[in-house]
Every structure is written in structure tokens, then in C-alpha cells.
Amino acid sequence: MQEKPSINGFLDHARQSLQILDQSIADAQQMSHVKTGRGHDNESRLEWTRELRNLIELRNSTLQSIKHHMLGRDYDTGQFSEPEDIWQFERDFHKYVTADPWTQEDLELECEECHKSSIEVEEYDFDDEKRKLCEPCHEKATSQQDDAKDEPPEPISAQDVKVLRQSAALQIKVLRTFPIDQRIAKLEELLADKPEVAPGMEPAYEAYRDVLQKELDNAKATREHAAHHPTS
Ligand SMILES: [Zn+2]
């Protein structure tokens, strides 16, 4: 059998500690029961019992730290997380801690794009999915995603233009109830205001401004006309 390269990760050390502790516990258990022979009196049995208790406590705290390492802390509370799926946790525990020592290969993931396995493969968050990718494939995927974002926005629909025209028409309807000077002032004010328009919305906004501009021209013409032909 091929020699497995050591990785010396946290779980490797923890698993080694557990193995040694299990052996020590078995030894201490045996020693605490030995009744006869040199150096085996009540006092030494008591000593071994104390040793056994310490070893069991150490084993429990080692298990606890493995559990914490595997589950991590809750982001909000800072408390150690509890397993959501207890069976999956037990499976993971068995797989990573109590089963055969793992190898570098066990840490490799397969890239979804090029299907090469390597420890460089990571799980990345995309807009609505997680993908396992190697470094070059991840770079390719993100630059493709950026390209998609740079694409020109969907052209505005005729329906949107219609809605904006209608809203301009409604504004004009209200403005027409104003005295002519106020109406002109208000229309000039509306046209002077040039808000930032969402990409793709420019044509609709232009249509909206056209409607206001026409109304302003009409209002000015009306005022001009009234000035020359005063009604009594
Ligand atoms: Zn790849």
C-alpha cells in the first residue's frame, strides 16, 4: 500500500490525539484493575483511576473542539453552531475523524468546468448558485459574468414609453388649471430638472420631455397671443 502523505491539518492532529487517548484510556483502565504484583496497591489503583478520569475528560474536550472546528461559529451570536442535520454531522465526523487517516487526495475537489481534481478547486458563490471551480475556470467564469453585465440594457418597451407619456399628459392636465404664468414657470422648472436616468430609459424620458416642451411652447404662444389680443 502506498504511503499516504501527511497534511497536518487540525483534524489530523485531533484524530491522532484521539488515537493516543483511546490507547491511554485502555491502558489506564487495565492498570486501575490490576490487583496483584509489585507496585499494585490501593494507592496506585486510586492513582490510575484519577489518571483514567483525566484522560476521559481530555478525550471529551478534544471531541468538543473537533465538533466546534467542524461546525464553526454562528455569524450573528458568535456561539458555536449546532448541527442542523445531526446524521450528516455524524457521517462527516466518521469520515473525517474516525475513519482512515485522510490524504491530500481526500481534500481535492473536482472542477465543474475542466473536471480536473485539485486542492485549488474552491466553491464559489455566483448570483444564484454555488459552483466548484479551479482558479483558471473561476477567472473565466467571472469575466464572462462581467461581460454579461456590460451588455447594453434591454431597450425600453413601447408600453413604458406610453406610460411615461401618459404621466406627462396628466401633469399637463393639472398644470392647465394654473394661471398661464404659473403654468409656464412650472413647465420651465420641470424641463430644467435633468435627473439621472436609468440606462435604457433615455428614449422614454426624452419622449416625456418632448411632451412637456410642446406644452411649454403652446403656453408661451397662448400668452403671446393673449398679450396682442386682450379679451375684455
Ligand atoms: Zn477548471
Q: What is the pLDDT along the chain (232 residues), one digit of tens a residue?
A: 445 555 567 777 788 888 889 999 999 888 888 777 766 678 888 888 899 999 999 999 988 888 888 888 888 888 888 888 888 888 888 877 776 666 677 778 899 999 999 888 988 888 778 899 999 999 998 888 777 766 666 666 777 777 777 778 888 888 888 888 888 998 898 888 887 777 777 777 888 888 889 989 999 998 888 888 876 5
Q: Residue 15 Cα, ligand 1 centroid: separation in angstroms?
A: 32
Q: Residue 34 Cα, ligand 1 centroid: separation in angstroms?
A: 60
Identify the CA nearest to 190 among candidates 200, 170, 198, 201: 170
Alpha helices of the chain — where are they, by DSSP H? 10-33, 42-71, 86-93, 135-150, 158-175, 180-192, 202-228
Contact 175, 215 (CB under 8 A): yes
Q: Residue 109 Cα, ligand 1 centroid: separation in angstroms?
A: 10
Beta bridge partners of 133: 122
pTM score of the predicted model: 0.44
Q: Residue 47 Cα, ligand 1 centroid: separation in angstroms?
A: 58
Identify the CA nearest to 211 among candidates 177, 139, 161: 161
Identify the CA nearest to 169 among candidates 140, 219, 208, 133: 208
Nearest-angstrom CA–CA distance, 109 and 92: 16
Q: Residue 129 Cα, ligand 1 centroid: separation in angstroms?
A: 17
Q: Residue 141 Cα, ligand 1 centroid: separation in angstroms?
A: 10
Q: Where are the domains of the chain?
A: 1-103, 108-151, 158-228
Nearest-angstrom CA–CA distance, 20 and 25: 9
Q: Residue 145 Cα, ligand 1 centroid: separation in angstroms?
A: 16
